[in-house]
Amino acid sequence: MTESFSADVHLGEIANLEDLIDRESLREVCRSFFDLFGLSIRVFSARGGLLANVHEERSVCRYANVFAEGRTTCAATVGEVQVIVPDTETVVHPCFTGALYHVLPIVYDDRQLGRIVLGPFVPAELKEPPESLLRIDPDVDHERARLAIREMPRVRPETAERIAAHLRGVLDLILFSGHRAHLTSAMHLATVRENYRDLAEKNARLQEAYDKLKELDRLKSNFLATVSHELRTPLTSIIGYSEMLQAGIAGELSDEQGGFVDTIRGKGELLLVLISSLLDLNKLERGQLTIEPEVVDPRAVLAEVQETYLPEAEKKQIRFEIDCPTDVPELHADPVRLRQILINLAGNAIKFTPERGSITRRATRGEITLDQGEADEQDGLGAALMMAPEPAIEFRVTDTGIGIASDQLQKIFDAFYQVDGSSTREYGGAGLGLAITKNLVEAHHGTIRVESREGGGTTFFVTLPQLPLEAE
Ligand code: ADP
């Protein structure tokens, strides 16, 4: 880092005045010097490019140019001046008119970047036209030549040196600020390049990880589907044979034997529920589970849930109530899946509510705004922006149970997540119920949320569109 920075602080690969200087500022400076001292200024780059040129045709040049020989000699002088490359010191070049040119080197960071040509001007002491001017043509008039010389800017050698030093100082400043701007933009570019490289690398790593995860997910899904399927068949037999044993088909069972068979059947059924849940979740996540909506009476579904759990609620002396006002209309939903949603929520409510608590399942009219993605699919973006809320039915399952800490509220919808995930946990289950419930709700284009306080009970809110969606 230090190495590349210090290399950058020097000019590095910049060797041209053109790359470093702002031409407009350079012209401005030359113009103000011309206005101040009346001296013509030309700035050349090291490659000979003319970067600034502020001059006026001078009286003596004008007069010399009247004569053919004057024109030729003038052009030759200008040509000579243009190719002078001063080393570190100013080079003074005389003109046949008696005027002088000063050629100053432009050196920055120990590099020859170009040169400045000052002049023509005449030395202060020159009063009479020199022989070299008078000789260019027999018609040269001494008096006119003298007048032309008089009109020329006159500068003493020390003044010319001071002007040159001053000009060099200003130029140094312009070069410095150009250099700084160049460094800043080079550093900015390097940072952007570095960031871009970083980002591209991270992106590639992310893509790799994503591909691996996707492949793993696919393998997991296949594995789950196969294993669950293979387990279900023998399990159904185990349950079937337990039922036959219970019915006495294989002979009367002793009390102890009956107890064992009850346990085999009970555990078998639990396993079957778990396997069905895994299969359901797998299908839901792959979008393979189809919803078959029909007109459903929310009261009837709530009553079915009541029937399922009433014995268990009574066992725990839990008040288990339904609250469904008469004006709550029927809705369009898959009755089997809606029952599954409410059974999952009510089952959790019973599981996590201590004895003598209470649980209410409520259905009310509500509203739902379909999310933009769904709306886009149906009607296009314009319609989505003006989307009015749709009528909906809101189901609530409220309990007075153990509640959920606020930092756990979003995690409980993840598959296999349990607030108490320890092996010694008090409550049964595999952590799949809410993941399945959420997927089922979303398959209905509905929403699910939870409000809860640790020790203060829980309410799950499920909102489902009341009417069939246009796409269906
Ligand atoms: P399971 O009930 O099989 O553990 P769920 O996915 O249904 O799995 O629930 C995940 C977790 O969310 C539960 O283990 C429990 O910690 C918490 N939870 C769900 N419902 C309730 C509730 N009504 N009261 C308290 N905690 C709950």
Task: Specify whether the CB–CB gap between 170 and 103 falls below 8 A.
Answer: no
What local confidence, expressed as pLDDT, does residue 93 receive? 95
Say if 3-193 and 290-471 have the same CATH topology.
no
Which pLDDT does position 6 carry in this prediction?
Answer: 41
Q: Which residues contact 456 (CB under 8 A, 6 or more apart)?
A: 403
Residue nearest to atom 13 of ligand 1 (CA): 418
- Tell me how far apart the alpha carbons of residues 179 and 257 are, in angstroms, rounded to a whole number: 96
Length of the chain: 472
Residue type, 345: L
Of all atoms in ligand 1, which is nearest to the CA of residue 413?
A: 6
Q: Which of 309, 352, 396, 449 to mutate to test ligand 1, by most ligand atoms within 8 A of the CB atom?
A: 352
* Ligand 1 centroid – CA 312 distance (Å): 17
Domain map (residue ranges) of the chain: 3-193, 210-275+277-281, 290-471
Residue to substitute in 270, 404, 416 for testing ligand 1 pocket (most ligand atoms within 8 angstroms of CB): 404
Options 3.60.21.10, 3.40.470.10, 3.30.200.20, 3.30.565.10; which CATH number does 290-471 get? 3.30.565.10
Residue 24 and residue 33: Cα distance in Å, rounded? 14
Model pLDDT, residue 332: 95
Domain 210-275+277-281 has CATH 1.10.287: yes
pLDDT tens for the chain, 472 residues long, are 334 444 444 555 566 788 788 888 899 999 998 998 889 999 999 888 899 999 888 899 999 999 999 999 999 999 999 889 998 889 999 999 999 999 999 988 888 889 999 999 999 889 899 999 999 999 999 999 999 999 998 888 888 888 888 888 888 888 888 888 888 888 899 999 999 999 999 999 999 999 999 999 888 888 888 888 888 888 999 999 999 999 999 899 999 999 999 999 999 998 898 888 888 888 888 888 888 999 999 999 999 999 999 999 999 999 999 999 988 999 999 999 999 999 999 999 999 999 999 999 999 999 998 765 554 544 445 444 557 789 999 999 999 999 999 999 989 999 888 887 676 667 777 888 999 999 999 999 999 999 999 999 999 999 999 988 765 4
State residue 19's pLDDT score.
Answer: 79
d(CA 335, CA 356): 31
C-alpha of residue 393 to centroid of ligand 1, in Å: 23
Buried b (16+ CB within 10 A) or exposed e, 354-387: eeebbbbbbbbebebebeeebbeeeeeeeebeee
* pTM as predicted: 0.56
What pLDDT sits at residue 374? 52
> Rounded CA gap, 277 and 316, in Å?
26
Peptide bond into 120 cis (omega under 30): yes
Q: How many angstroms separate the alpha carbon of residue 169 from the centre of ligand 1? A: 79
- The CATH class of the 3-193 domain is alpha beta
The answer to whether 123 and 89 are in contact (CB under 8 A) is no
Q: Which residues contact 160 (CB under 8 A, 6 or more apart)?
A: 100, 102, 118, 121
For residue 415, which atom of ligand 1 is closest to its CA?
Answer: 6
Are 466 and 455 a contacting pair, CB within 8 Å?
A: no
Distance 276 CA to ligand 1 centre (A): 18
From ligand 1's centre to the CA of 422, what distance in Å? Answer: 14
* Under 8 Å between Cβ of 56 and 40: yes
Residue 405: how many CB atoms within 10 A of its CB? 11
Q: Output the 3-class SS for the chain.
A: CHHHHHHHHCCCCCCCHHHHCCHHHHHHHHHHHHHHHCCCEEEEECCCCEEEEECCCCHHHHHHCCCHHHHHHHHHHHHHHHCCCCCCCCEEEECCCCCEEEEEEEEECCEEEEEEEEEEEEECCCCCCCHHHHCCCCCCCHHHHHHHHHCCCEECHHHHHHHHHHHHHHHHHHHHHHHHHHHHHHHHHHHHHHHHHHHHHHHHHHHHHHHHHHHHHHHHHHHHHHHHHHHHHHHHHHHHHHHHHHCCCCCCCCHHHHHHHHHHHHHHHHHHHHHHHHHHHHHHHCCCCCCCCEEECHHHHHHHHHHHHHHHHHHCCCEEEEECCCCCCCEEECHHHHHHHHHHHHHHHHHCCCCCCEEEEEEEEEEECCCHHHHHHHHCHHHHHCCCCEEEEEEEEEECCCCCCHHHCCHHHCCCCCCCCCCCCCCCCCCCHHHHHHHHHHHCCCEEEEEECCCCCEEEEEEEECCCCCCC
Distance CA 281, CA 440 (A): 9
Using a 6 Å CB cutoff, which residues line ligand 1?
348-349, 352, 399, 401-404, 412, 417-419, 429-435, 458
Rounded to the nearest angstrom, the distance between the alpha carbon of 437 and the centre of ligand 1 is 11
Virtual torsion, Cα 429, 432, 336, 262, nearest 10 deg: -30
Nearest to 361, CA basis, from 403, 402, 319: 319
The rounded Å distance from CA 315 to ligand 1 centre is 20
Q: What is the pLDDT of residue 16?
A: 77
